[in-house]
């Protein structure tokens, strides 16, 4: 795509953005519970539109070259991504569920399930590639030092004669097996010859034999032609996938990828030019226009002194730097207005104090007079109203949208053919910075001059300035500071210690898109029938992207988005919980810390040892963010009763320190705790739900997910799926099996030898059945126990209560209809 095409895409994106911004204000109005469905529909449609915008802005930021445009696009991309996270939070409160059925909205908006995919911005990894390389080299160096210690228990040495005897034995066995197969083939041929002689087939003459051969050959050719015609017809109407043109596809993909890489290289070159121009412009403005700015500011402030003295008979108080300094003076106001404002502020503060005292007295009287029942009913009504919380990202989006309209709308390739920066715009930005720097210097000088004027004219000593009090809430007090247990140690030494003890691991590279699954297409139908739809693997992947990847990938998004410190993945073994943890680390470039109970055994004993390891892990995680702290078998930290076999391990010893460390994480701390468990019923519900803010339930895959899993996992082994392989039958037969089971069966069937035989013997579904039968599936009882546990969580309870209330309302309506009849 050309620069003009990207500009047109940007223009169309802002048209959509303007429509969305117009819909934001009506969304803030509270809605009664009876209109829940329409409220969910509005939220869902806006959520889907913002997802599409985020996808477009990601493409534009990744491919546009002009540096000033890219800065605006970065702000827009981060703010739209943050708005997506806010809407997701609102959807959870409206649906009372972590998973949402958006099929009806997709159909109405004429979108596809692919539009539900949460786009992960490409800059997450591209902009920190150097940091990731340095970290990888550091890890490799530490692990290489550890190799001599860990490689002591190698293979036992063998004597030369013993090795020769072992090789001879293996070679004789191989030769014996080859001879046996050769003799078996000879015996088969002899048996076939004997049967032919015994049957005494009648001999045909030459013409009859030729006619017979022709019949067979022509029939074979015609069947091939018919089969080919049928296949092309089915491909044409879309009932069969067209054969991939690998050579053509590879060429097109390579060409597109090469073009994108070239644009990224140009981005780096233009950014370097822009950085140099910023420094030069700042210096030149400071030299040329700086002295004039300084003199003008001084003259204006002196004039303000004189006018205030003429009005009030004394010199004014100079505004403090925390309030804005001389910016407060030059806000297009006369000295009389400034004086009136100062007096109004004093009077307003006095009135506020009086009003507060009156309100307190009124509240005391009302509490005595009014009964508690009325208040409870009113509170209940307000609590049940459906609301959308005010957004922190909408002002940023509005500002970016206005900047685009004023500066960049319809700016095509003809204006900036080489995609260089705009020097006039750069001078305007830098002029503001230089003015601010000079203003601070002038403020210091003028405060001293004001003191000398007071002494000389009014013979008055300097009055102490009262600094404005900062308003702080009672409950939202100061953030507790953690006591540093390792003040004299460097980050590198702590990093090395964690690697040596196995708490910091080198995560495998796993893309989030490799977690295969299909969308749930009947969720809204099940909701209308008051049945609880179970989430698909696609829904799980989207939630991990929203809760984990987007928040950890950008500091700007994390600092303003709804704060989520921890996630718990609950599901049977083989569902890919560890894979999702590795995918979060891969997509964000995060460090992976392992605080699993099994990994803690025998390390850092005692109470002080536990405090120390938790402190070190969270300290290094904050300093080297983004970071993921993984706890496998998370239920063990919150056991109801510790089993006898695990008493020595003492899995609950980390519980208190872990919760304390989590509370200290705030906005901007890109550290996330991810727990995985397949036996949550063994843990205390309160402790587990307090520690993990979001609980994602992962049930067995449904038919659609299993179909996609079988197909894509077989194709990932380099095998093309043919008509001989009935994937639909495999998806039906594998009901109850997890993705891990399916992958295990595929690996056991598709060996190297079997892949080589595919040209002669195509793959058949029956080959997988024996290997599947050897594996233990997830039984219905286990899944039901996990469901029951999930609906005992706080969100699950609220969801069940909502369904019961809806059923009761429907029953009432049905009774009323019967009475009317």
In a domain, 117, yes or no: yes
Tell whether 554 and 649 lie within a shared domain.
yes
Tell whether 539 and 510 lie within a shared domain.
yes
In a domain, 602, yes or no: yes
Has residue 83 got a pLDDT over 80?
A: yes
Tell whether 528 and 673 lie within a shared domain.
yes
> Whose structure tokens read 């491919």?
63
**How far is residue 733 from each of residues 535, 723, 774, measured CA to CA in Å?**
21, 18, 14
Tell whether 713 and 760 lie within a shared domain.
yes
Q: What is the mean pLDDT of residues 16-40?
A: 86
User: Which of the residue ranges 74-83, 485-494, 619-628, 766-775 would you say has the lowest mean pLDDT?
Assistant: 485-494
User: Which of the residue ranges 152-166, 255-269, 586-600 would you say has the lowest mean pLDDT?
Assistant: 152-166
Tell whether 593 and 738 lie within a shared domain.
no
Contacts of 718 (CB under 8 A, 6+ apart): 755
> Whose structure tokens read 């539109």?
49
pLDDT of residue 814: 81
Gap between the Cα atoms of 23 and 21, Å rounded = 5
**CATH code: domain of residue 544:** 3.40.50.300
pLDDT of residue 473: 44
Q: What is the dihedral of CA 230, 234, 237, 242, to 10 degrees?
A: -120
Q: What is the pLDDT of residues 88-121, one digit of tens each?
A: 999 998 888 888 888 888 888 999 888 899 999 9
User: Which of the residue ranges 79-93, 523-537, 540-554, 718-732 would you say has the lowest mean pLDDT?
Assistant: 523-537
Contacts of 28 (CB under 8 A, 6+ apart): 387, 388, 390
Summary mean pLDDT of the chain: 83
- Residue with more model confidence, 211 or 245: 211
Residue of 668, 639, 671 whose CA lies nearest to 655: 639
Domain that includes residue 7, residue range: 3-123+388-409
Has residue 314 got a pLDDT over 60?
A: yes
Going 248 to 254 to 255 to 256, the CA torsion angle's sign is positive
Question: Looking at the 3D structure of the chain, how many domains does it have?
Answer: 3
pLDDT of residue 821: 64
Has residue 258 got a pLDDT over 60?
A: yes
DSSP state at residue 512: G
Of 642, 668, 697, the last residue of a domain is: 697
Tell whether 620 and 755 lie within a shared domain.
no
In a domain, 618, yes or no: yes
In a domain, 447, yes or no: no
pLDDT of residue 248: 53
**pLDDT grade for 708, boundaries at 50, 70 and 90:** very high
Has residue 249 got a pLDDT over 70?
A: no
Q: What is the pLDDT of residues 127-156, one digit of tens each?
A: 888 888 888 888 888 877 775 443 344 556
CB 121 within 8 A of CB 84: no
Gap between the Cα atoms of 381 and 198, Å rounded = 96
**pLDDT grade for 183, boundaries at 50, 70 and 90:** very high
Structure token pair of residue 385: 């109203």
Has residue 374 got a pLDDT over 70?
A: no
Q: What is the pLDDT of residues 29-42, one digit of tens each?
A: 888 888 888 888 99
Has residue 321 got a pLDDT over 90?
A: no
Cβ count within 10 A of residue 398: 14
Going 36 to 40 to 43 to 45, the CA torsion angle's sign is negative
In a domain, 278, yes or no: no
Beta pairing, strands 591-594 & 627-632: parallel
- Residue with more model confidence, 84 or 462: 84
**CATH code: domain of residue 713:** 1.10.8.60
Has residue 545 got a pLDDT over 60?
A: yes
pLDDT of residue 377: 43
Tell whether 620 and 511 lie within a shared domain.
yes
Most confident of 36-40, 535-539, 811-815: 535-539
Compute the C-alpha angle 177/183/185, nearest 5°: 105
Q: What is the residue-wise DSSP string for 50-116?
A: HHHHHHHHHHHHHH---HHHHHHHHHHHHHHHHHHHHHHHHHHHHHTSSS---HHHHHHTT--GGGG
Tell whether 567 and 663 lie within a shared domain.
yes
Of 759, 777, 795, the last residue of a domain is: 777
Contacts of 230 (CB under 8 A, 6+ apart): none
In a domain, 284, yes or no: no
CB 78 within 8 A of CB 557: yes
Tell whether 117 and 23 lie within a shared domain.
yes
Given 3-state DSSP classes, what are the helix, strand and coil percentages for the chain, each rounded to the nearest 5? 65, 5, 30
Q: What is the mean pLDDT of residues 518-534?
A: 79
pLDDT of residue 721: 85
Q: What is the pLDDT of residues 382-432, one digit of tens each?
A: 456 788 888 899 999 999 999 888 888 766 555 556 677 778 888 888 888
Has residue 801 got a pLDDT over 90?
A: no
The pTM of this model reads 0.80
Cβ contacts of 483-492, under 8 Å, gap ≥ 24: 484/615, 484/619, 485/611, 485/612, 485/615, 485/616, 486/612, 486/615, 486/616, 486/619, 491/620, 491/623, 491/624, 492/138
Tell whether 511 and 634 lie within a shared domain.
yes
Cβ count within 10 A of residue 735: 13
In a domain, 148, yes or no: no
Cβ contacts of 450-458, under 8 Å, gap ≥ 24: 450/305, 450/315, 450/318, 453/305, 453/315, 454/315, 457/309, 457/315, 458/314, 458/315
Contacts of 436 (CB under 8 A, 6+ apart): none
Question: Across the strands, what pairs with 674?
Answer: 567, 630
Rg (CA), the chain: 36
Of 635, 669, 697, the last residue of a domain is: 697
**pLDDT grade for 470, boundaries at 50, 70 and 90:** very low
Tell whether 556 and 652 lie within a shared domain.
yes
pLDDT of residue 382: 46
Count CA within 13 A, CB hemisphere, residue 521.
9
Strand order in the sheet with 671-677: 504-505, 591-594, 627-632, 671-677, 566-570, 694-697
CB 581 within 8 A of CB 512: no
In a domain, 372, yes or no: no
Cβ count within 10 A of residue 300: 14
Has residue 528 got a pLDDT over 80?
A: no
Tell whether 518 and 641 lie within a shared domain.
yes
Going 337 to 343 to 349 to 354, the CA torsion angle's sign is negative
């Amino acid at each position: 795509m050309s620069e003009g095409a990207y500009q047109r895409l940007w223009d169309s994106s802002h048209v959509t953005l303007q429509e969305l911004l117009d819909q934001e204000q009506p969304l803030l109005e509270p809605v009664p519970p009876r209109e829940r469905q329409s409220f969910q529909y509005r939220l869902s449609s806006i959520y889907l539109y913002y997802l599409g915008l985020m996808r477009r802005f990601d493409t534009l930021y990744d491919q546009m070259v002009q540096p000033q445009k890219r800065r605006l696009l970065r702000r827009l991309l981060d703010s739209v991504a943050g708005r997506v996270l806010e809407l997701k939070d609102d959807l959870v409160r409206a649906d009372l569920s972590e998973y949402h059925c958006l099929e009806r909205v997709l159909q109405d908006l004429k979108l596809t399930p692919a539009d539900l995919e949460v786009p992960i911005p490409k800059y997450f990894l591209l902009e920190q590639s150097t940091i990731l390389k340095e970290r990888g080299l550091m890890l490799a160096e530490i692990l290489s030092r550890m190799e001599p210690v860990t490689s002591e228990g190698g293979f036992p040495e063998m004597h030369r004669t013993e090795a020769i005897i072992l090789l001879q034995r293996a070679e004789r066995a191989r030769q014996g097996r080859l001879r046996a197969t050769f003799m078996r083939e000879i015996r088969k041929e002899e048996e076939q010859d004997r049967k032919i002689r015994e049957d005494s087939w009648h001999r045909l003459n030459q013409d009859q034999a030729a006619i017979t051969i022709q019949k067979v050959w022509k029939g074979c050719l015609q069947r091939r032609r018919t089969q080919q015609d049928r296949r092309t017809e089915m491909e044409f109407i879309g009932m069969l996938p067209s054969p991939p043109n690998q050579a053509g596809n590879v060429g097109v993909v390579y060409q597109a990828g090469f073009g994108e890489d070239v644009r990224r290289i140009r981005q780096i070159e233009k950014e370097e030019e822009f950085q140099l121009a910023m420094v030069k412009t700042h210096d030149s403005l400071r030299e040329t226009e700086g002295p004039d700015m300084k003199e003008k500011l001084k003259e204006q402030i002196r004039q303000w002194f004189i006018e205030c003295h003429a009005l009030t008979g004394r010199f004014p108080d100079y505004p403090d730097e925390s309030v804005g300094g001389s910016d407060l003076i030059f806000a297009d106001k006369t000295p009389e207005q400034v004086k009136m404002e100062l007096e109004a502020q004093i009077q307003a503060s006095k009135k506020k104090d009086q009003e507060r005292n009156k309100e307190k007295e009124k509240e005391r009287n009302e509490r005595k007079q009014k009964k508690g029942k009325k208040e409870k009913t009113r509170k209940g009504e307000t609590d049940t109203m459906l609301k959308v919380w005010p957004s922190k990202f909408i002002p940023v989006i509005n500002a970016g949208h206005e900047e685009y309209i004023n500066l960049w709308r319809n700016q095509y390739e003809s204006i900036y053919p080489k995609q260089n920066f705009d020097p006039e715009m750069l001078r305007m930005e830098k002029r503001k910075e230089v003015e601010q720097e000079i203003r601070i210097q002038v403020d210091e000088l003028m405060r001293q001059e004001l003191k000398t004027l007071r002494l000389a004219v009014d013979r008055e000593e300097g009055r102490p300035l009262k600094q404005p009090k900062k308003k702080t809430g009672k409950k939202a007090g100061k953030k507790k500071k953690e006591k540093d247990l390792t003040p004299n140690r460097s980050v590198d030494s702590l990093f090395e210690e964690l690697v040596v003890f196995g708490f910091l691991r080198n995560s495998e590279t796993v893309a989030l898109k490799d977690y295969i699954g299909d969308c749930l297409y009947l969720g809204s139908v099940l909701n209308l029938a008051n049945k609880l739809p179970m989430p698909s693997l696609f829904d799980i992947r989207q939630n991990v992207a929203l809760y984990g990847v987007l928040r950890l990938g950008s500091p700007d998004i994390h600092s303003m988005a709804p704060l989520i410190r921890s996630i718990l993945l609950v599901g049977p073994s083989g569902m890919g919980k560890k894979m999702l943890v590795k995918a979060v680390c891969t997509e964000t470039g995060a460090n992976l810390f392992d605080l699993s109970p099994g990994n803690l055994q025998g390390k850092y004993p005692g109470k002080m040892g536990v405090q120390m390891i938790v402190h070190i892990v969270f300290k290094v995680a904050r300093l080297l963010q983004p970071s993921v702290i993984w706890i496998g078998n998370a239920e063990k930290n919150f056991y109801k009763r510790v089993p006898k076999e695990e008493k020595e391990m003492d899995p609950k010893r980390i519980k208190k320190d872990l919760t304390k460390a989590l509370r200290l994480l705030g906005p901007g701390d890109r550290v996330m705790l991810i727990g995985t468990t397949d036996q949550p019923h063994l843990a205390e519900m309160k402790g587990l739900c307090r520690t993990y803010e979001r609980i994602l339930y992962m049930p067995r895959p449904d038919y659609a997910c299993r179909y996609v899993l079988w197909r894509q996992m077989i194709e990932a082994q380099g095998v093309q799926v043919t008509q001989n392989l009935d994937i639909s039958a495999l998806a039906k037969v594998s009901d109850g099996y997890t993705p891990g089971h399916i992958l295990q069966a595929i690996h056991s069937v598709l060996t190297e030898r079997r892949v080589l035989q595919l040209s002669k013997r195509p793959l058949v579904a029956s080959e997988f059945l024996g290997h599947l039968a050897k594996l233990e599936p997830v039984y219905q009882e286990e899944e039901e126990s996990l469901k029951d546990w999930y609906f005992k969580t706080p969100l699950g309870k609220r969801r069940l209560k909502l369904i019961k209330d809806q059923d009761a309302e429907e029953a009432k309506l049905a009774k009323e209809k019967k009475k009317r009849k």
